[in-house]
Structure 1
């Protein structure tokens, strides 16, 4: 029987060969299930690399096999990951080892982290940070945290045709957790479906950010919500598990955000939540044809709009933030 170490070595040897080759190189993961430990796909590479994922890569539940992340792509240009296979972090087997519900400075479980690339993980489906010109399209993601999270230093990210659920939605952030984070700009989320997720499309930043950063030019278009708990949310006072040291002085600027043709149902009355800072209000927020209705009974669909400068056209009147 092939061991985890042997499979890991085979993948890494294939990566080293392809990354070192010129022209167009392809790595094929054949049909079948392949249990691996940490995969560190580091460049720069000599040419273009495609990973053809026909089989399924499974993340080991033995956390000793990871120094940081499960699949990490760093310093690589012109990388494509395609195919009908799965990246299965097998998250339920390790979620009980996550102490973040009790510890603000907890150790994060192994990530699938992207620095000029993409990856899957036990928590987030795909996490992108310090990257530019990344496209994620035509895929289905189910996870215990964000299906896709866009972190600091991301520019020119295109997310199209993604189905998310279960999970926490498609998020920009969280931003402002650490010092000297870089701006986020030019993010497009289009033609996506969110099913029974804890959030829909979300922008989140810490209120006690140590450095001034900006999230701008964010566009969400043609998004369908299916019983999503918080379909549209900007949260400049993000604080997981209510343990954040807050000074109430946000340094994360959120501006030039467009929500266009957002439809479907919300599992909570608050279909729109703009929880922005009184020190740095959200500005340039545009809602066009936003029609998400509460799927329950008794309570009416509503919007929460705090410290947000919003224009709305073609929206449900309850969501217009007038």
Structure 2
């Protein structure tokens, strides 16, 4: 199937029931748009069934040059929902997208329930569900394995719940990256709860760029009841995020992070540092609370490395230690 655009406003609720496998053309230029299915300016949309949207992305992944270019070419997504309200996607599978599987922009009261994302670990920039400038988005009972973030939350994300999600392989569940652009909007009220993360490059993460113009706030973050299984960097605030060395760390991040709850995190870490809180020296993190964090590395307790933050500790939590050297 080539690109399909459903554009509202619609006069009544619409339900799309899909049980077939829908395949995208292999080459991005043959799709006819940036997505297989795009829905704009609609209300009360339901997409349900056992259907599979197959982006056939392996050809496009070989063309991905984002590791070499600061601004790289968009290769195509399986789904885009732009300014869609009071809607739900239930039971559908997104497979092998050329780039992001799902992009959610400007939506309100939008839910994914029983959704599935599948792509190999080496599929670059294939974020499972990317959310931006949206309020009241729920990602529930969902299984995501891909080559980038399982769920990524961009600027303007507010009142988002990610609950009972299985993540892995991939890069974990991330807020950000943030601060790259001056005109970004604040992030507020994100809850990641009752999730299991396995074999990923990160667990739960907040990432912001140094030496970039963005000055938004990130507040009221909650990471709770999460099980890690052989996860690198299980809990990380990285305010020196600089992928592929495409930036300088000369100036600290201007993004203010506050009111972060890290609670009931258990399991195994693939790195000695189970917790990394690398906050900005320009605007240190405030209101960070950690309680009941039990992470093991090779059978021994993982450590916490903290800079520019003084977290409140309750229960069993590894004590903060200073970084031994600058994070690369």
TM-score, structure 2 length as denominator? 0.81
Partner of 2:102: 112
Structure 1 residues 257 and 192: CA distance shift in structure 2, 3 A = same
Q: In structure 1, which of residues 187, 202, 206 is the aligned counterpart of residue 205 of structure 2? A: 202
Q: Please report how far the alpha carbon of residue 243 of structure 1 lies from its aligned counterpart in structure 2 after TM superposition.
A: 2.7
2:81 pairs with 1:73:
yes
State which of 90, 96, 100 in structure 2 corresponds to 1:82. Answer: 90
- The unaligned stretches of length 5 or more in structure 1 are 92-108
1:28 aligns with 2:28: no
Q: Judging changes above 3 Å, is the alpha-carbon distance between structure 1 residues 19 and 55 closer, same or farther for their aligned structure 2 residues?
A: farther
Q: Find the partner of 1:213 among 185, 207, 216.
A: 216
2:265 aligns to what? 262
**Aligned match of 1:126:** 129
Q: Secondary structure at the match of 1:75?
A: strand
- How far, CA to CA, are the matches of 1:67 and 1:147 in structure 2? 18
Contact kept? 1:176, 1:205, Cα under 8 Å = yes
Q: CA deviation at 1:179?
A: 1.9
TM-superposition CA deviations, 1:106-160 (whole Å, max 9, x none): xxx4552111257969610110001111000001000101000000011010110
SS at match of 1:43: strand
Q: 1:35 to 1:19 in 2, by over 3 A?
A: farther
Residue aligning to 2:326: none
Structure 2 residue matching 1:241: 3-state secondary structure:
helix
- 1:56 aligned to 52, 61, 70, which one? 52
**Matches of 1:307 and 1:245 in 2, distance apart?**
19
SS in 1 for 2:244: helix
CA contact (8 A) 1:190 1:222 kept: yes
1:145 counterpart residue number: 148
| Corresponding residue for residue 44 of structure 1 | 41
How many residues in Structure 1 have an aligned counterpart in Structure 2?
288
* SS at 1:41 equivalent: strand
Q: Which moved more, 1:35-44 or 1:244-253?
A: 35-44
Identify if the C-alpha distance between structure 1 residues 141 and 134 changes in structure 2 by more than 3 Å, giving closer, same or farther: same
Decide whether aligned partners of structure 1 residues 56 and 19 sit closer, same or farther in structure 2, where only a CA change above 3 A counts: farther
Partner in structure 2 of residue 291 of structure 1: 294
Quote how far apart the aligned CAs of 1:44 are: 2.1
How far apart, CA to CA, are the structure 2 residues paired with 1:246 and 1:210?
A: 13
Match of 1:224 in 2: 227
Paired residue for 1:104? Answer: none
Task: Report if aligned partners of 2:41, 2:84 keep a CA contact under 8 Å in 1.
Answer: yes
Q: Give the structure with the larger helix fraction.
A: 1
Moved more, 240-249 or 271-280: 240-249
Aligned to 2:139: 136
Q: Distance in 2 between matches of 1:279 and 1:232?
A: 22
Structure 2 residues without counterparts, runs of 5 or longer: 25-30, 64-73, 323-328
DSSP-derived class of the 1:221 partner:
strand
Instruction: Quote the Cα distance in structure 2 between the aligned partners of 1:132 and 1:249.
Output: 29
Contact 1:289 1:315 in 2 (8 A): yes
| Residues 312 and 321, structure 1, Cα contact 8 Å, conserved in 2 | no
Tell me the C-alpha RMSD between the 2 structures.
2.5
Q: Which residue of 2 aligns with 1:102?
A: none
> Is the 1:19–1:49 contact (alpha carbons within 8 Å) kept by the matching residues of 2?
no
